[in-house]
Structure 1
Amino acid sequence: MALIEVVFILVGVCCVFFCGRRLARVLMVLFPKFWYPLPENFFTSMGKWAVITGGSEGIGRAYAQQLAGHGLNVVLISRSRGKLETAAQDIELTTGRKVTVISADFTKDDIYTSIEESISSLDVAILVNNVGILPSQIPCKLLETTNLEEKILQVINCNLKSMAKMCRLILPGMVERGRGIILNVSSGMAIVPFPLYTLYGATKVFIERFAQCLQAEYKSKGILVQTVSPFGVSTSMMGYQKEDLMTFSAEAFVKSSLTYLKAGDHSYGSVRHTILGSFFQNIPTWVLRHEAFHQSFKEFVKKRVGA
């Protein structure tokens, strides 16, 4: 056989392999329940409790509702006791599960001793690190952020320190029992450098790298660690933007995201957000860095949140 024929055969085989692999990935995203089935008792087999930060509303509360529906008792941790108690009553009424609340401001430093005392004896099945804040609801350049010095500390404490500290509190028990799930809520803004969300986006990149390394370290101990990176979800932090093709309600997003729980150490949580993530990854970086894009994007967000 001539050398040129061998080369063409090898190229053809590589093309078929590449296309087949891409097709398989597409099918996995489209049909997660087939590719990543979760047994009915999956969550309760991991333990008895779900601990959720930022659990009084939005995505955190939606996770609490879903996990309670799967048979877990829930610990909600957030700043507003009034919202926590309202959420707890609703979840207990609709699911019949026990809900405990802990009032804690994650922008502060001195909260973790009391949290540890409250949860140290619990058989925690899943930790959802959801709490997070934006330095500014309307995107802006770093130096345009109001009270920048204060916001830097608050964002680092709330978005970064909370995740690392909660893992430090709960992971040892999971390792000892040889089971458990840690779910970290990141953002689609961590996928590419996203000007005007400089501080926020950087914290979300940290979350993703931290989770990937944690999974590599503790997978052999029976621990599942995953980062979920949503784009548009209608929550108070995002100004309750109107739901549309790419903007989910918190409840719809969380229900979708849990079907991808065994899809690896990173997930966008839905088919539509996966498509959006691929789109952003293929945008030339000069577009995102251009001043005209910054202004257009700022105006777009203002309209979406009604500012």
Structure 2
Amino acid sequence: MEQFFVSVGLLVCLVGLVKCIRFSQYLFLSFCKALPRSFLRSMGQWAVITGAGDGIGKAYSFELARHGLNVVLISRTLEKLQAIAEEIEWTTGSRVKIVQADFTREDVYDHIKEKLKGLEIGILVNNVGMLPSLFPSHFLSTPGEIQSLIHCNITSVVKMTQLVLRHMESRQRGLILNISSGIALCPWPLYTLYSASKAFVCTFSKALHMEYRDKGIIIQVLTPYAISTPMTKYLSTNMVTKTADEFVKESLKYVTIGAETCGCLAHEILAIILSLIPSRVLHSSAFQRVLLTQYSDYLKRNILDR
């Protein structure tokens, strides 16, 4: 029995050491420009970004163009795409292609495939997504079309990856960034549909990374918490809630850190803190009441898009 407890203690220490080493990597990469500026450009000539009309997708479009890549912007609002494309070309000199597509539909991928034909795609950012409601709510009260959410949050990631991965494999290099969410890291009551759909993105991405990492392809899932975007009704920013530009610039420092990252140091610390809370607490009726009352009040006070 004594040997058993000693073994358990050593295992706990080992797990703690691994977490400390990983966290030290984040600290190093946060304050040092360890990734050569040419690294992203070396993946290929073009980057494809879904949901590029707003928020995180728009921020990735500008940042990757600043790194010297040409960009393909995919979203459903043509006017936004045209305006963003013009600004990217003017400010960065990169080439821009736009593809109008509604990812809540399942019949858009032949059109996208045709538009991407002949391009050397080095980076894919699967960013497009739907949040049924910013405010916590029970499943039966969730607004919106369930099938649309599944197409947008799940089908888009699978189909877009399928379109570009074969060409990346033949060239033995490429980078795929799949945007999930911090609330996908464990079952999250009152955000059930969104949490579950983003959990699929986590599992899919990590499994795929294991399949293709020996072929020179990085597949990374990002699990951020609060980002101030149109989808979150422009939550006021603070030490935890980041702007899309802040998040994207920091997240690109971590593309070589592994299959999963929160994308920024503040969110990584938050994830560690939340992981220390027993799941029975997070899944309790009392915690759900806190979400429905105090957290909802916090959101109402801090959203700027009213």
Common fold: TM-score over 0.5: yes
Structure-1 residue corresponding to 2:46? 49
Code of the aligned partner of 1:166? M
Alignment-derived partner of residue 260 in structure 1:
254
Deviates more, 1:37-46 or 1:108-117: 37-46
Q: Is contact 1:48–1:123 with CA below 8 Å preserved after alignment?
A: yes
Query: Which residue is 1:77 aligned to?
Result: 74
The change in CA–CA distance for 1:224 and 1:137 in structure 2 (over 3 A counts) is same
Q: Counterparts of 1:10 and 1:107 in 2: how far apart (Å)? A: 51
The answer on 1:195 being equivalent to 2:189 is: yes
Q: In 2, are the aligned partners of 1:191 and 1:280 still within 8 Å (CA)?
A: no
AA aligned opposite 2:155 = K
SS of 1:237's partner is helix
- CA shift, 1:35, in A, is 8.3
Any conservation in 2 of the 1:195–1:294 contact (CA below 8 Å)?
A: no
Query: What is the letter of the counterpart of residue 28 of structure 2?
Result: F
- Verify the 8 A CA contact 2:235 2:299 in the aligned structure 1: no
Tell me if the contact between 2:233 and 2:303 (Cα under 8 Å) persists in the aligned partners. yes
| 1:303 positional shift | 2.8
How far did residue 14 of structure 1 move? Answer: 7.7
Counterparts of 1:224 and 1:48 in 2: how far apart (Å)? 16
Structure 1 residue 266 displacement after superposition: 0.2
Counterpart selection for 1:279 from 273, 276, 290: 273
Largest Rg, 1 or 2: 1
Shift of 1:162: 0.3
TM-score by structure 1 length? 0.90
Partner of 1:298: 296
User: May I ask how many residue pairs the two structures share in their alignment?
Assistant: 300
Which of the residues 76, 86, 106 maps onto 2:83? 86
Cα separation, partners in 2 of 1:110 and 1:139, compared to 1, 3 Å: same
Name the structure 2 match of 1:119: 116
Letter in 2 for 1:94: T
User: Does the CA-based 8 Å contact 1:29-1:271 persist in structure 2?
Assistant: yes
Structure-2 change in CA distance of 1:242 and 1:59 (3 Å): same
Contact 2:30 2:250 in 1 (8 A): no
Amino acid at match of 1:229: T
SS at match of 2:52: coil
One-letter code of the match for 2:301? K
Q: RMSD between aligned alpha carbons?
A: 2.5
Residue 10 and residue 80 in structure 1: after superposition, are their counterparts in 2 closer, same or farther (change >3 A)? closer
Q: Deviations over 1:63-83 (max 9, x none)?
A: 111110111000000010111
Specify which of 168, 180, 192 is matched with residue 186 of structure 1: 180
SS of aligned partner of 2:220: strand
1:280, CA displacement in angstroms?
Answer: 1.6
Kept in 2, the 8 Å contact 1:74–1:99? The answer is: yes
The aligned residue for residue 153 of structure 1 is 147
- Matches of 2:213 and 2:259, distance apart in 1: 10
Residue 240 of structure 1 is matched in structure 2 by: 234
